[in-house]
Amino acid sequence: MKLSGKKVLIGVTGGIAAYKIPILVRELIKEGAQVQVILTPDAQAFVTPLTLATVSNNPVHTAFFNKTTGEWDSHIHLALWADIFLIAPATANTLAKMAHGLADNLLLAVYLSARCKCVVAPAMDLDMLKHPSTEKNIRTLEKQGVEIIPSETGFLASGLIGEGRMPEPETLCKYIIETLNPPSILSNQSWVVTAGPTFESIDPVRFIGNHSSGKMGIAIAEALATKGAQVILICGPSSVPHRHQGGIQRIDITSADEMLEAVESHFDKADGVIMAAAVADYKPKISHNEKLKKSGKNLILELTPNPDILSRMGEKKNDHQLVIGFALESSNGINHAKEKLKKKNLDAIILNSLEDDGAGFGGDTNRITIIDKEEEIITFPLKSKADVANDIISFIESVFYKKIS
C-alpha cells in the first residue's frame, strides 16, 4: 500500500474519459488512499455520482450547496483536506477557466482555494488540444505551478487518431504514487521498529500485559516501508495485520526478553530503531510450569525488572544510527520525556500522554510531541496513527538531512 494515509481529491470534468475515473478511484483505494471526488455539472452526464460515491466510500461533491436543504459544501475544507488535487479528464473549457481564475462551479472554486499540489490530465480532441488558446492556457497553468500530465496519442472518441487521450487509470495512479512519495533519504535504509505489548508469563494460563494494540508501531513500520526502507518489525502479541509484505519482515515475540533478543540481533546492521512497543518493566521472578491453583488466600507475586531494551540500544549506538523512543506518560509528560531522552541516550523521544483524549493505547488516533536531542519541542494536533507515523518519518528525514548538510 503506497498511499496509506494520503488524501487524494479528484476533479472530473465533462469529457468522455470521465468513464475511466471509477477505475482510477479503485486503484487509489487499493493503495490505501482516502479519495474524494468533485464532478462538474457536465461530468455527471458521463459518470454518475452514485458510481463514484460507491467506489470512493465517500459522498461525491457536485455543487456549492444543496438546493433543497441549503446545506453548504465548503470548497475551502475540501481544498485544505487534500494532499493532491488531480483534475482528470480536464477539458479545454476547464483549463481555460482555471488559467483565468473563474470560479463558476465547485471544482474551480476548490482549485482556487487549494494549497496542495494540483495536477491536470488534459483530454480532448486533437485539434482542440493543439489550438493556440488551449496551448497558451496550459502554459499559463504550468507557470502557476500546476503539473500537466501529457495527453497520450491514440484513437479518440471523435474517430480521429492523434494526441488528446487521457492516460489510463493505472498510469494516473502510478503518477500520484510517485508524486506523493518523492525519493527519500530513508529509501534502502534498514530500520528496526518495535510494536505492541509484551506478555510476561505467570503460569501457562496467565500473564502480565498491557493495553497496547500494536497499531502505532505498525503504522510507523508501514510509513517507513512506503519510503522504501527495509523494516524489521518486532511485534508483541497483536492481532493487527501489517501491509507492505515486501518491505516489512515481521518477527512476532511474546516477552521483553524475546524482544530484546530480536532487537539486538538486528540492531547492528540497522540505520536506526524506533521503539513504540509498550514493554513490561517487570516480569514474574518465577514463571510456573503448572497452572497456579486457587488457595483462597492472598497470592504474592514477586516481580523482577525486565531489561530496558531502549537504554541498551542507546548505549550501543554508533554515530550513524538513530535511536528513537516513545514515552507514555499520565502527568508532567514533557519533564518525564526529557528525563528518558537523556537517561537512555536517545536521538529523540516521542511523547504521548494519557491526559489527551484520543491519544495512546488502542484507538486509531494519537497526539504526539517530539523532543529532539537539543530538547527542541515539536507539538502536533490529534491525528490518525497513519498521519502521526508520517509526521515521525518526516522528522527523521529532517534529522538525516541535517546530518549530511
146 or 279, CB closer to ligand PMT?
A: 279
125 or 347, CB closer to ligand PMT?
A: 347
| Closest-CA residue to 184 (of 405, 400, 386, 31) | 400
Going by C-beta distance under 8 Å and a sequence separation of 6 or more, which residues neighbour residue 341?
325, 348, 349, 371, 373, 375
361 or 400, CB closer to ligand PMT?
A: 361
Q: Which three cell numbers stand for residue 352?
A: 504521548
Question: CB 283: neighbour CB atoms within 10 A?
Answer: 23
215 or 244, CB closer to ligand PMT?
A: 215
CB of 232 to ligand PMT, least distance (A): 15
151 or 352, CB closer to ligand PMT?
A: 352
How is residue 72 annotated by DSSP?
A: B
The answer to whether 209 and 289 are in contact (CB under 8 A) is: no
CB of 348 to ligand PMT, least distance (A): 11
164: left (phi over 0), alpha (psi -120 to 50) or beta: left
The answer to whether 88 and 121 are in contact (CB under 8 A) is: yes
Going by C-beta distance under 8 Å and a sequence separation of 6 or more, which residues neighbour residue 276?
193, 194, 195, 216, 217, 220, 326, 350
CB of 243 to ligand PMT, least distance (A): 16
CA dihedral 365→367→373→374, nearest 10 degrees, is: 150
149 or 248, CB closer to ligand PMT?
A: 248
3-state secondary structure at position 8? strand
25 or 279, CB closer to ligand PMT?
A: 279
β-pair type (230-235, 190-195): parallel
Catalytic residue selected from 210, 306, 366, 390: 210
Going by C-beta distance under 8 Å and a sequence separation of 6 or more, which residues neighbour residue 315?
345
Give alpha helix (H) positions in 114-214.
126-130, 132-143, 169-180
Instruction: Give the residues lining the site for ligand PMT (CB under 6 A).
Output: 196, 212-216, 256, 275-279, 281, 306, 308-310, 325-328, 340, 352, 360-362
CB of 197 to ligand PMT, least distance (A): 7
d(CA 322, CA 254): 25
CB of 180 to ligand PMT, least distance (A): 24
User: Residue 250's beta-bridge partner residues?
Assistant: 233
CB of 311 to ligand PMT, least distance (A): 7
* Annotation says 210 is catalytic: yes
CB of 200 to ligand PMT, least distance (A): 10
Residues taking part in catalysis: 210
